[in-house]
Structure 1
Amino acid sequence: MPDTPLKQANAPHVSPRPSACPGLWRIVSARDGGICRIKLPGGLLFADQADAVAAAAERFAGGVIEATNRGNLQIRGIGSHHRELVETLLAAGLGPRDAAGDDVRNLMLSPLAGQDPTMLLDARPLAGRILELLEGTPRFHQLSAKFAVQLDAGESLAMLEHPHDLWLSALRLEQQTWLAFGLAGCPAEGQVLGAVPLEQGLQLVRAVLERFLDLATPVQSRMRQLLEACSVTDFIDGLGLAIRRDPAVLAWRREPHNASWLGVLPQAQGLALGVAPPQGRLTPTMLRGAARIACQLGDGSLRLSPWQSLVLPNLQAQHIDQAQADLAALGLLCNDHEPLARISACTGASGCAKALGETKADALTLATLLGPGAPASVHLSGCPRSCAMAHVAPATLLARSPGRYDLYLRDARQPGFGALRATDLTLNEAGAMLDLPTEHLDD
């Protein structure tokens, strides 16, 4: 993350809440200019809004638009016209006019919420009520701009590895839909702490947020920090709700479907198409083009995903080939076998003062070096903070100097990036090592 908000004299569109996390109202500084983050409700972006983002990036910034790993968009390289940028985005309906209300709109859904064929429920109505609760409750504006909630309705296309302060997952027990929940974790690995009936979902969210704010000190901005001082049992006992905590709930685990997020995606009706901008970066032409195709062949909407990709929903089978060809012509990746689809990278030294390498450019080079034996996901990080990756990738290359990296492989038994397998590698050496079977990487 960038370090400090940009100082602007007489600029009313800067959030008064201290944070290094960008928002719609809070434009923060980086080496390549200001960053404005647009928090999308459930990742939803309409075509006219996409056009507004593209125009704002061209007019007030350097034309760089990023898809984030929580299904949002951000504009980089912003110059001095902050007020005009924010007004343009607000006029397109891309956020509330209350800065604090915008900060807390951190709710992750599946990009196919309401349309995924394996969903246990349509998450969108409850998600809308949760967002209204967050945005419209002044007390909840005290939450950190990073405090995040996930609502998982059992979809095949779901990010289950990103940690959240509160996560909820749908499950069926005794012919009834319940919401299992956990704290400071994720559905893939987090401990289920209890469940409530679906109709009590909003009440549960409210109770958890109020309980957190009742107990947290100023330095405990995230749930994991609070739980270092407060036991989980005490936290739950203080919610004032009848929480179901019998073995059927506590032993339940969310089973991943391992669905691809690129290419043709099944829907309950029709089809969707997942595409990705290389390295998560969209040009205004790409975003406008994707919006145009969504209008011509879909329902006029896009979904941003936590894989830094786009989903075009509600396409007809006869239009898929044309849509893929048109999107590929824009420079978007349409298949998960493409090398660049397997590599992510942070901003790198050109945009961030903390980065020790040009990770974006190095990722392009590495993509030409990866063989079929490489891990399914490789992340290049310019520094140990790993801002651009919300969970640990199967393989991480951590920059130590320009063009030189340390290689880590994910290992649940070890903290951080996992097991250190090699140090001070060139990109050629890293590509060769990543193509080796895992059991040979210690040789």
Structure 2
Amino acid sequence: MTPATPPNVTPRPSACPGLWRIVGARDGGICRIKLAGGLLLAEQAEAVAAAAERYAGGVIEATNRANLQIRGIGSDHAGLVDALLAAGLGPRDAASDDVRNLMLSPLAGHDRHMLLDVRPLAGQILDLLQGTPRLHELSAKFALQLDGGEGVAMLEHPHDLWLSPLRLEQRDWLAFGLASCPADGQALGAVPVEQGLALVRAVLHRFLDLASAEQSRMRQLLQHGTAEAFIDGLGLDVRRDAAVRQWRRQAADLPWLGVVPQRHGVALGVAPPLGRLTPAMLRGVAHVARQWGDGSVRLSPWQSLMLTNIAPAAVEPARAELAALGLLCGPDEPLARLVACTGSQGCAKGLADTKADAVTLAGLLPGGAVASVHLAGCPRSCAVAHVAPATLMARSPGRYDLYLRDARLPGLGALRAADLTLNEAGAMLALPTEHLDD
């Protein structure tokens, strides 16, 4: 039986969409489905496809935090929510919807390079977030990352709290950082793995103890106090010696598209063009996951999908079926290097039709061009959570400013050229990366 929508439930005010809070946009309502660890079962994928057709315009998006969202939702919000809850895609109660912001590797538990299977701890953290009423006061943007040392891992997204494994003195520890990311954030301390849940609990409660109403993120709180003082008040024995402070997360730089070896079998990474899925695509992915995989799909922070536990002999037929659906199956495809926000067709703040412009730009970029290009319709840069190697910031329809990432500069990096047409931007981005700064 489809569960009834609980009466008199009003999620905490926020501009971010959630399952219970459908936010209006130019193309209709937006509902964000937060997936536990990015996991989507085949039957749940089919339920999302059906809901997008019945209650919306059929547009489904993979997000940069490994979630899904449905766009173009009509007036029957309750019907949509009930359909998703019936598929097990919602929280236990509306108040806990916002805070389930825990990102894992799409290959958590399967990656050959992992140092730790973080899935049991991830389940405990999600239970903590959902089951602790006080933690429902956290912002809908307050985000956590639990890294297991996987080879396929997004290490550049900033998080309010991140944890990553390291081994010291024949013992497993969890290094952690605040308001940073594993790629460039120094570990501030470490606790034994078995104290990981206690660390998360202490950090979240201490944040709420100290933060004002205007300080919704850890970075805002730390502007008015030191990380050392924050850690001093956790009430935990945190290791902070040189061995921890000098540790750095090493990236394996494995591809997230194409065939990726696992501990058992292989995973197959595919991406919907510019992050957008049709119901037919999602149903097709569910079919492939059942026929040749383990019946599940994992969303990734690259706005892509990974199908796990595929037998090597099944890779080619699985990939052929996914490619026939219109999914990108390899990193050499031009659209695989482009990310674009909703743009002016779906967002009132968008200054250009970034989705259509990205398709045009893809035809102008040969192999060897810059690795990743982000087309942003406005300065909010919603499509990516970190700075891309190259960003095209819209000025007006079809015209963009080009920025190149520079670690020495804040924000998007260095302004390379202004008020470019797509042809001009394509000509510049088609240059080999080493010549872009000439």
State the alpha-carbon separation in 2 of the partners of residues 12 and 360 from structure 1.
38
SS in 2 for 1:76: strand
Q: Which of 406, 420, 432 pairs up with 1:437?
A: 432
Kept after mapping to 1: 8 A contact 2:332/2:367: no
* 1:390 matched to 2:349: no
Query: 1:263, CA displacement in angstroms?
Result: 0.3
Partner of 1:413: 408
SS in 2 for 1:374: coil
State the alpha-carbon separation in 1 of the partners of residues 262 and 77 from structure 2.
40
Partner of 2:54: 59
Q: Aligned partner of 1:178: which letter?
A: W
* 1:354 matched to 2:342: no
State the alpha-carbon separation in 2 of the partners of residues 13 and 317 from structure 1.
51
SS in 2 for 1:407: strand
* 1:309 matched to 2:304: yes
SS in 1 for 2:84: helix
| Aligned length in residues | 434
Q: Aligned partner of 1:51: which letter?
A: E
Partner of 2:39: 44
Q: Which of 256, 279, 288 pairs up with 1:293?
A: 288
Partner of 2:117: 122
Task: With the length of structure 1 as denominator, give the TM-score of the two structures.
Answer: 0.96
Partner of 1:379: 374
Partner of 2:241: 246
Kept after mapping to 2: 8 A contact 1:13/1:82: no
Unaligned runs of 5+ in 2: none
State the alpha-carbon separation in 2 of the partners of residues 11 and 238 from structure 1.
38
Kept after mapping to 2: 8 A contact 1:397/1:405: yes
* 1:230 matched to 2:236: no
Identity, in percent, stands at 76
Give CA-to-partner distance per residue, 1:155-205, whole Å, 9 cap, x none.
000000000000000111111110000000100011210000000000000
State the alpha-carbon separation in 1 of the partners of residues 7 and 75 from structure 2.
13
Give CA-to-partner distance per residue, 1:57-91, whole Å, 9 cap, x none.
00000000000000000000000000000000000
Query: 1:99, CA displacement in angstroms?
Result: 1.2
Query: 1:211, CA displacement in angstroms?
Result: 0.4
Query: 1:438, CA displacement in angstroms?
Result: 4.3
Query: 1:358, CA displacement in angstroms?
Result: 0.2
State the alpha-carbon separation in 2 of the partners of residues 333 and 177 from structure 1.
38
Kept after mapping to 2: 8 A contact 1:179/1:196: yes
Task: With the length of structure 2 as denominator, give the TM-score of the two structures.
Answer: 0.97
Q: Which has the higher mean CA deviation after the structures are superposed, 169-178 or 12-21?
A: 12-21
Partner of 1:28: 23
Q: Aligned partner of 1:208: which letter?
A: V
Query: 1:298, CA displacement in angstroms?
Result: 0.7
RMSD of aligned residue pairs (Cα, Å): 1.2
Q: Aligned partner of 1:38: which letter?
A: I
State the alpha-carbon separation in 1 of the partners of residues 14 and 191 from structure 2.
33
Kept after mapping to 2: 8 A contact 1:13/1:83: no
Query: 1:16, CA displacement in angstroms?
Result: 3.0
SS in 2 for 1:366: helix
SS in 2 for 1:103: coil
Distance 1:247 1:442, change over 3 A: closer
Query: 1:96, CA displacement in angstroms?
Result: 1.8
Give CA-to-partner distance per residue, 1:313-367, whole Å, 9 cap, x none.
0000000000000000000000000000000100000100111000000000000
Kept after mapping to 2: 8 A contact 1:349/1:382: yes
Q: Which of 188, 192, 216 pairs up with 2:183?
A: 188
Partner of 2:134: 139
State the alpha-carbon separation in 2 of the partners of residues 330 and 198 from structure 1.
42
Give CA-to-partner distance per residue, 1:410-438, whole Å, 9 cap, x none.
00111111000001111111010011234
SS in 2 for 1:324: helix
* 1:112 matched to 2:107: yes
Partner of 1:278: 273
State the alpha-carbon separation in 2 of the partners of residues 164 and 428 from structure 1.
36
Query: 1:400, CA displacement in angstroms?
Result: 0.2
